[in-house]
Structures are given as C-alpha cells and as structure tokens.
Amino acid sequence: MSANPPPPIAIDEPLLDVVTHAARLSPRLRRNHNFHTADTDACHRLLNGMEPGSYILPHRHLDPNKDETFVILRGAFGLVLFDDAGEVAQMLLLRAGGTTLGATVPSGTWHTLIAFEPGGVFLEAKAGPYLPLSDAERAPWAPAEGDAAAADYLEALTARFDA
C-alpha cells in the first residue's frame, strides 16, 4: 500500500507575503522559495521575491535545455535582453495583471531582470540541475554583483524604461 501524496502547496497572498518579507531582509534584496526539493531535480520551480535595487548580473544559460520562464505574480519587472556586445537588444515590461505577464528567455540569450515595485514576486521555471554560472555565462561587459559600478549600471538600465 502506497503512502498518501503530500497536499498541494497553495501559491496565495500569505505565501507571497512571506517571500517578499524575506527579500526585503536579504542583503541582495531578493529571495527564492523553492518548490523543487533538491538542486539536482530535473525541473526547478520557484518563487522569486525581488525588491527595487536588487542587481542581477546580466547572464545567459549556455545549456540548450535551460530556457528560463518568468510569470509575474505581484509587481512589475523589466526584462532586458542584450546582444553579445552588451547592447540592449530588447526590453519588455512584465506586470502582474498587465498586458505582458511573463516571458520565456531562450538559452544562450543574455538577460537581466529589474524590479520596479516593492513586494514583487515572480514564478520561475527552468531545467535542473542547478549549476553555478560559468565565466562564459557571466556578462563580461557588465559590472559584477557587489561591484561599486553595479548601482549606476542598474540605474541606467532602469532609466531606459522611463524614456
């Protein structure tokens, strides 16, 4: 006789509040809440809470199975895609309840995400297993996370959405 499966996990406002609270307290101003159970799982599903001012180094996933999908559950985000020289190739405004609710970024595409509103949360899905970004997957033309120039770079990208 098999054991009963675990109950479903509700993605509801209280859970989003927990994720946003954790993001606000994080030095990086973002925090994930994983639904997958191990870094080695074949599919990674997670909530990502992200606050304005959080900097995600532009990057790409070279594994052809690592397309990355974002669906905005709360707040507004800017998705920025770059060419190989670091020039902005495309920008998408993603907003919960808006016209564009999310996007899928094909593997090999340079990208970053910018949080525009406090309390933002998105659902992210991509293939596992988790592997740290390699040097070839980190944008050489953008400041590293923690670099003094990162705040100015993020501000300049953010300003492009206001133009």
Give per-residue pLDDT as tens, 103-116: 999 999 999 999 99
Q: Is residue 110 in some structural domain? A: yes
**Residue the block writes with tokens 């954790």:** 22
- CA 62, CA 47: separation in Å to the nearest integer? 23
Peptide bond into 52 cis (omega under 30): no
Digit-coded pLDDT (tens) for 62-91: 999 999 999 999 999 999 999 999 999 999
Q: Is residue 35 in some structural domain? A: yes
Q: Is residue 8 in some structural domain? A: no
Q: Is residue 4 in some structural domain? A: no
Total domains in the chain come to 1
| pLDDT of res. 2 | 66
Q: Is residue 3 in some structural domain? A: no
More confident residue, 61 or 162: 61
Query: Which of 104, 124, 131, 100 lies closest to 30 in space, CA to CA?
Result: 124
pLDDT value at 49 more than 80? yes
- CA 80, CA 114: separation in Å to the nearest integer? 8
Of the pLDDT bands very low, low, confident and very high (cuts 50, 70, 90), residue 1 is low
Digit-coded pLDDT (tens) for 58-67: 999 999 999 9
Dihedral sign (CA 108, 102, 69, 47) = positive
Q: Is residue 2 in some structural domain? A: no
- CA 52, CA 153: separation in Å to the nearest integer? 14
- CA 113, CA 25: separation in Å to the nearest integer? 19
pLDDT value at 13 more than 70? yes
| pLDDT of res. 110 | 98
CATH no. for residue 100?
2.60.120.10
- CA 116, CA 75: separation in Å to the nearest integer? 7
Q: Is residue 95 in some structural domain? A: yes
Q: Is residue 121 in some structural domain? A: yes
Average pLDDT for 24-48: 96
Full residue range of the structural domain in which residue 69 is found:
13-130+139-162
**Residue the block writes with tokens 């990502």:** 48
Residue 32 exposed, middle or buried by CB count within 10 Å (0-12, 13-18, 19+): middle
The first and second tokens of residue 144, run together, are 């590293």
Of the pLDDT bands very low, low, confident and very high (cuts 50, 70, 90), residue 3 is confident
